[in-house]
Amino acid sequence: MTNSIKLNIVLPIYNEGNNLDLLLLDIIDSSKGYNIDPTVIAVNDGSRDDTKAIINKYIHQLKITYCEHEFNEGYARSLDTGIKAANDIGLLLVMDADNQFKYESVMQLLNHIDDFDIVVGQREKRNDNWLRIYLGKTWSIVGRYIFQTKINDLNCGFKLFRTTLIKKISINSVGPGVNLEIFSDPIIKSSKIKAIRVAHYPREYGNQSGASIKTILLSLKDLMIIFRKRFFKS
């Protein structure tokens, strides 16, 4: 591979200051070894920690597009902000900033992107509490059997898209339903998708919010938004 791989990396970030140093150093080091030319789109979703200061430490070592929400708007809005801010060229990796995925695993996805439009991670063993695992499985079942999505681990936070493809998708979700909205879109459903098993690690720092009452209520709101969008377009 002579030419470097142009890769947008969208990182939705909310109070992940304790995880960012390790993640950004991994992106710098692994990208050199894999001949990747990365641009990190860091979306600070109203964090109350030192997220902005940590990101600023790396602006001379890494191409970073910094976006900031004044208030916490949630994962879906952060993802939408990051995708819109990404360069139009190359590939786009959506990645959680909590270090439960290792950036070095990106090669497992890149090895297949020449033959597919989207390569998604599928967690070999999910290292979360039982409620998050249950809710994740529920989203995947709803996706497969009601919306005919093509993947078994819908909310896995490690996905690779062709940038021009994902930029065609409009996002109206406000919470964790965003992956169902994306993968139930007719454009995505008609695309070639490959699932690859990837390692998922226990969270070492910070708190998870995916099983909070607020997040569950947002999930129900998202479900109504997506139902209306997919089945009652008028």
Q: For residue 7, which phi and psi values (nearest 5 degrees)?
A: -130, 115
In this predicted structure, what is the pLDDT of residue 233? 66
With contact defined as beta carbons under 8 Å apart, do 95 and 188 qualify? no
> How far apart are alpha carbons 121 and 156 in whole angstroms?
6
Torsion of CA 30, 50, 205, 195, to 10 degrees: -40
Host H or E run for residue 183: helix 178-183
With contact defined as beta carbons under 8 Å apart, do 27 and 38 qualify? yes
Host H or E run for residue 82: helix 75-85
- The matching CATH number, chosen from 3.90.1150.10, 3.40.50.11540, 3.90.550.10, 3.40.50.300, for 5-231 is 3.90.550.10
Q: For residue 149, which phi and psi values (nearest 5 degrees)?
A: -75, 165
Q: In Å, what is the CA distance from 227 to each residue of 28, 191, 223, 224, 234?
A: 41, 21, 6, 5, 12
pLDDT, tens digit, 9 for 90 and up, residues 175-221: 889 999 999 999 999 999 999 999 998 888 766 655 567 777 888 88
User: Tokens representing 204?
Assistant: 């070492």
With contact defined as beta carbons under 8 Å apart, do 222 and 180 qualify? yes
- 172 has pLDDT over 70: yes
Q: In Å, what is the CA distance from 163 to each residue of 74, 93, 105, 184?
A: 22, 9, 19, 18
pLDDT, tens digit, 9 for 90 and up, residues 50-108: 999 999 999 999 999 999 999 999 899 999 999 999 999 899 999 999 999 999 999 99
In this predicted structure, what is the pLDDT of residue 18? 93
User: Which one-letter amino acid corresponds to residue 15?
Assistant: N
> How far apart are alpha carbons 174 and 216 in whole angstroms?
12
| Average pLDDT value for residue range 154-181 | 93
> How far apart are alpha carbons 184 and 172 in whole angstroms?
13
In this predicted structure, what is the pLDDT of residue 121? 95
Segments making up each domain of the chain, as ranges:
5-231
pLDDT, tens digit, 9 for 90 and up, residues 98-135: 999 999 999 999 999 999 999 999 998 877 666 777 77
- 46 has pLDDT over 80: yes
- Looking at residue 128, the DSSP 8-state letter turns out to be S
The pTM of this model reads: 0.90
From edge to edge, which strands make up the β-sheet containing 118-123?
Answer: 63-69, 36-45, 5-13, 91-95, 158-162, 118-123, 193-198
- Looking at residue 4, the DSSP 8-state letter turns out to be P
User: Tokens representing 119?
Assistant: 């390569």
**Which segments of the chain are extended strands (E)?**
5-13, 36-45, 63-69, 91-95, 118-123, 158-162, 193-198
In this predicted structure, what is the pLDDT of residue 56? 96
Half-sphere exposure of 59 (CA within 13 A, CB side): 9
